[in-house]
Chains A and B, each alone.
Chain A
Amino acid sequence: MTASLLFTACNKENDLTKSGEMLFLKHKGASMPVLVRGNFDSDVILLIVHGGAGGSSAAHIEDFKSFIEPKYMVAYWDQRHAGASQGNFNKEDLTIDLMAEDMLLVIRMLKHKYGFNKKVFAFGHSWGVQLSTYYLINQPNELQGIILSNGAHSSEHEYSAKLDYVKNYATEMINKGIPIPKTIKTQGLTFENLQQVVDWCNASDPIEDYNELTILYDLVPAVKGYVDETYVQSPDIPSQISDSELWFQSPYNPITALINLNRTHNLINNFENQTSIQEFYDFTPGMHKITLPVALYWGRYDDIIGPEVAQDYYQVISTPTEKKELIFFEKSNHSPQYTENVWFSQKVIGFIEEFK
């Protein structure tokens, strides 16, 4: 198997270590890589703010290389304690405040390196939406515009959307005569059929504690298979990057990424210990400060961050109507940039061209 992976890795069609430039931002103990690829003659840089927390920008290279990189520079930033990030710092320095400060400095570093006339846009996905929103509220905005996909700004809306997802598609399955895929046992409860799932959702709205949240997460598999099979298309991404190339012939290392992800999970995203900064929070009170052009490109059938979140995000920011747009990708779940890559790329280019 290793030999097979290595053989595939030798087919370096994407040249992940040959094209582009690698910059590192050293800040408060972290050495964060920013791989810059694409069209260096462009006056636009698209900064990737990856998910997680603790994920990696590497997974997004295939999302942007076919259509966006030929047109703009794309900066793939790995946040502190994530992806290929290196450094040496205390665990107390892994905070969303410091990560938002990092984001500001990455934007400034890109302008310092490539010219202050460059227009920097950001693309935030999943946790990247939460971090970008926090940045826009708490740091001076130096972005020209931002594209956000399937991430949250308020756990109240996130849980409400997830309850709707489970309840609505469970009802749809009942109406079609489709049974629950398997019995679900969680937190002392047993769900043997979909009507029990629907009844629990009705009785538990709103979600108020970790116990209810755990049950809700565990109920998602009751409907997710049906939803994905019925509504979500196979990715239309023109060319994927193989795991073997990412593992063996790229700036990234899967062991580093895994250790960074696990450590970040334990420190700031720990659901089991009920200490996650991604649960039971609300950025809404500060979101009136957001006035820059915003594109909300959302996979409709997302079991993680549902459509209600995008609708609320659109409403609560102060960006004028003509400078914000909300588009649902009707054949996608959590990652429309991957599933509907062609249309997603067209929308990104259209948004950047309008507001650059």
Chain B
Amino acid sequence: MRAEQLKGHLDALLLAVLEAEALHGYAIIERLRARSGGTFDLPGGSVYPALRRLEMASLVDGVWSEVAGRRRRTYRLNDRGRAALAEERATWRGFSHAVGSVLGQPAS
């Protein structure tokens, strides 16, 4: 699935991936791919600006460390991020239920 098709959902997906543990960018992309069964195979370049946007919105915290001589930024979901994720989940459930009601059954 291409990044354009995920626009509007990418932020929520990133928050969901970070819910269980703190991860760096590459691991976030890999986790997203694995959890979607390979459907969300995003170009990495679309994820990093989104992570910065979430950080600027104070939903995740980024921390630098050094690994194998390289600087690495690891992201962790904070309390505001957890609240935002809960809200996104509720909105998504309502939306998918409504769409499913319309698309799920062929007109008789």
Does B bind A? no
Query: Which residues of B approach A to under 8 Å, CB–CB?
Result: none
